[in-house]
Structure 1
Amino acid sequence: MPVSRIILDQIKRLIPPLDGTLHKGQSGRVAVLGGALDYTGAPFFAAISALRFGADLSHVICSPTAAGAIKSYSPDLIVHPILDEHSSPKTVKPALQSLLDRLHVLIVGPGLGREAYMQDYAKLAVSLAREKGMFIVLDADALYMIGKDISIIKGYRRAVVTPNIVEFKRLKEQVGADPNTPADQLAGLVSRLLGGVTVLEKGAKDIISIDTTGSEADLEASQLAKETIEVDTPGGLKRCGGQGDILSGCVGTFMAWGKCYEDGAFGDGEIAASRVPLLAAVGGSMVTRTASRRAFFKEGRGVVTQDLIPEIGRSFVEVFGASAVDGSQPARDLKL
């Protein structure tokens, strides 16, 4: 089904108020794990998008070989070059654990690469995040990682996977999806085979689906059961290579807000934590697609990923209304 006003109202309840009641960090502390020798742009795009979307703090956890470049892109990012090729997960674990203790969401995959040491660090980080009950976004080479070992994320309903067309084709084969399943039902099937993980299938229309049927779900998650939402918000006519990283940052920020909401920093507490991944995926998709359209309108065929970044804040207002930004009225009462 398309995005309904009910869904929009639920999404808006997760938006932190800008009325002076929150202190630094209560509007989201985000981390991106990725950034190896050859990949510095992707983690930057994801992390800076989180800030432009409205997160208070954005961290990048990367290898020492990528840290210098990422630091040079923006002084607003907090960079942790702890994923050393010559170290080991056992050695890095205390520092990584201490860092995750301070965060609300972990985004894994942008610029991760497929080197064994980066994949091992990513597995460790996801394991630690699960233990802490953090929300998790998995994209790019994190999808390659879970495709090789689905147990890394299976059954963890505080996670969102964000495959593009090629990644989704590979993932559905890896989880054993029936190839005869109708295309509009595949995202839901993959979600069910992953144990209720939210799937954001990117394409001409983004399909967001969660299916907990057939799993040993708790009562809260069972209330979700099965739901699929199509986001047909117009995007740009050119798909930039880093647009998925922008999406990861936006979805991740919404999930961080969901964690703050769950912890009682703001809001009415009426939105179940089990619903946050679905709502975050829809909200992040709508804003990213809008930013893509706005950037394409200005730059046309020459649009690049950096052109989307200044449009994120404006796109947020376009999608959710000015009062979601200036705090002039509660988010739940916004009118579009």
Structure 2
Amino acid sequence: MVTSQLPTHLYRAEQVRHGEQLAARAMQLEMYQLMERAGQAVFSHFRLQYPEAASLLVCCGGGNNGGDGYIVARLARESGLAVTLWQLGQPERLSGDAARARDAWLACGGKITLPESKIPDSAEVIVDALLGTGLKGSVREDSAGLISLINQAGRPVVAVDVPSGLCADTGNILGTVIQAQSTVTFIGLKQGLCTGQAAQYCGEVLFAGLGVDDAFRQQVQPSAYRICQDAVRQCLPPRGRTAHKGDHGRVLCAGGDVGMAGAIRLAAEACARSGAGLTAVITQPDNVLSIVTARPEIMVQGWQDKAHEISQRLEWADVIVIGPGLGQSDWSKALLFHFDATEKTMVVDADGLNLLALSPDYKNNRIMTPHPGEAARLLNTTVAAVEADRFAAAKSLQQKFGGVVVLKGAGTLINDGRQCWVCTAGNPGMATGGMGDVLSGIIGALAGQGLSLSEAARTGVWIHSTAADLCAREGERGVLASDLFPYIRQLVNPR
């Protein structure tokens, strides 16, 4: 069965390659039977997605991914469709199960041709079975040329297991990559399909367990987990009927240098909208009036250089959110200095992270929420290096700085030093100013309500991204960070 309901367990490609053999053995299946089931899953999706299509082009590579393609081609031909099959490389060099699939295709009257310089006009849909999860290094020149030809054809593409040229472990492009409209992946959901460039090139990701996914999960420990709504519900049970504001956290939001009042106001309101019992702000004195006028429920205090005022608020607070609109001025550094020794839970974002990059330290009482640029500064590397392997970058950040790391971006990652989670919610409408400030406020509020650092981080990320998806139903372009507030309130009250 092919489903759009994706599993919560994620795996590296090598884990799936090894684990599928263990699962097949446990269920007394030949590996070729799994190849048949994979081809059937892709063909079933094709028929459901494109019921009017009468002709398709199947592009096969030299490995088992190509074998899956041969089975798709055979099933299509047996169903009366016109099928053109292109083999990249010499078909006689196929071996094992892929060779068996090739022979079955030939036995039903199919023909094998080498790729041509033009996609056949008759091909209504293209099946990408060129390069599977075993791809190492950049795509070779012959494969890259065919991938480019497919992408320029303007036909819908169904990718088998992973779009050719996309790293199944990192979501990074290995030179060039197929632009698919949908990807049918098998047995174990590959972690690289959930982050990085995957969202741009996979299209809709669908999952087919091939009847062995339960056995597979018993054999293989996940490399990461996908955040799901059920887990969020467990972290946000209904409140007791006798609850009062002191039960749900006192959160202090610190930041908002001259000209950046909006950032700290967004963080503070997101905190209040996410259920914090009390929310306070320390900011530049000139910001006080605008924040109180916009949201009188937030306690706002202007600060210049009086240490005792910080000490009083720090003693009052359960959680500190620092960084939104903080800046990097002398005022900013002095404010951050006063929180340096606290052992209370901290959420550090924006310029709080940029200042941390200048004076790195290791603490387990904080949640860090860098975007790739901030992550690069923290790791003294480049954005390209961070994005090339987001899983490795999140792990490195956690090992260097401690606590819990939220590496933002398409497929946000949360690493707490023990496990890694991925959020597959979210959309391009979130690429606008203030979104990170809202996220830090949500996470601070959840930590104030008693969630652990890890729970607050992953629950906050899911609420933030899902609120953005709900908001984007009216269109992604033009979404404002403050537009998320009504949806955040819905999501922190799960039914």
- Shorter-chain TM-score: what band? 0.7 to 0.9
Structure 1 window deviating more from structure 2 (278-287 vs 305-314): it is 305-314
- Correspondence list, 1:26-175, <5 A: 26-82=247-303, 84=304, 87=305, 92-127=306-341, 129-130=342-343, 134-151=344-361, 154=362, 156-173=363-380
What is the CA RMSD across the aligned residues, in angstroms? 2.4
Structure 1 stretches of 5 or more lacking a match? 212-225, 262-275, 323-336
State the match for 2:399 in structure 1: 192
User: What secondary structure, in the 3-state scheme, does the structure 2 residue paired with 1:234 have?
Assistant: coil
Q: Which one scores higher on RCO, CA 8 angstroms, separation ≥ 6?
A: 1
User: 1:298: Cα distance to partner?
Assistant: 2.6
Q: Any idea what the Cα deviations from partners look like across 1:244-285, whole Å, max 9, x if unmatched? A: 011001111111112xx7xxxxxxxxxxxxxx1111110000
User: 1:16: Cα distance to partner?
Assistant: 6.1
User: 1:23: Cα distance to partner?
Assistant: 2.0
One of 453, 456, 464 as aligned partner of 1:277:
453
User: Are residue 255 (structure 1) and residue 431 (structure 2) matched?
Assistant: no
Q: How many percent identity over aligned positions?
A: 26
- Correspondence list, 1:301-312, <5 A: 301-312=477-488
Structure 1 window deviating more from structure 2 (104-113 vs 292-301): it is 292-301
- Correspondence list, 1:196-211, <5 A: 196-211=402-417
Cα gap change, 1:180/1:144 in structure 2, threshold over 3 Å: closer, same or farther?
Answer: closer
Instruction: Tell me how far apart the structure 2 counterparts of residues 72 and 166 of structure 1 sit (CA, whole Å).
Output: 34
Instruction: Tell me how far apart the structure 2 counterparts of residues 180 and 40 of structure 1 sit (CA, whole Å).
Output: 31
Moved over 6 A (4+): 178-181
Structure 2 stretches of 5 or more lacking a match? 1-223
User: 1:233: Cα distance to partner?
Assistant: 1.9
State the match for 1:290 in structure 2: 466
Aligned residue identity for 2:309: A
User: What secondary structure, in the 3-state scheme, does the structure 1 residue paired with 2:449 have?
Assistant: helix
CA contact 2:375–2:397 (8 Å) conserved in 1:
no
User: Are residue 243 (structure 1) and residue 466 (structure 2) matched?
Assistant: no
TM-score calculated relative to the size of structure 2:
0.51
Cα gap change, 1:287/1:94 in structure 2, threshold over 3 Å: closer, same or farther?
Answer: same
Instruction: Tell me how far apart the structure 1 counterparts of residues 473 and 226 of structure 2 sit (CA, whole Å).
Output: 24
TM-score calculated relative to the size of structure 1:
0.74
Q: Any idea what the Cα deviations from partners look like across 1:300-320, whole Å, max 9, x if unmatched? A: 422212211122112334xxx
Aligned residue identity for 2:360: I
More strand by share: 2
User: 1:22: Cα distance to partner?
Assistant: 2.2
Structure with higher Rg: it is 2
Instruction: Tell me how far apart the structure 2 counterparts of residues 206 and 99 of structure 1 sit (CA, whole Å).
Output: 32
Q: Any idea what the Cα deviations from partners look like across 1:18-40, whole Å, max 9, x if unmatched? A: 22232222111111000121101
Instruction: Tell me how far apart the structure 1 counterparts of residues 440 and 489 of structure 2 sit (CA, whole Å).
Output: 15
State the match for 1:314 in structure 2: 490
User: 1:235: Cα distance to partner?
Assistant: 3.5
Aligned residue identity for 1:106: I
User: 1:299: Cα distance to partner?
Assistant: 4.9
User: What secondary structure, in the 3-state scheme, does the structure 2 residue paired with 1:58 have?
Assistant: strand
User: What secondary structure, in the 3-state scheme, does the structure 2 residue paired with 1:310 have?
Assistant: helix
Instruction: Tell me how far apart the structure 1 counterparts of residues 282 and 415 of structure 2 sit (CA, whole Å).
Output: 29
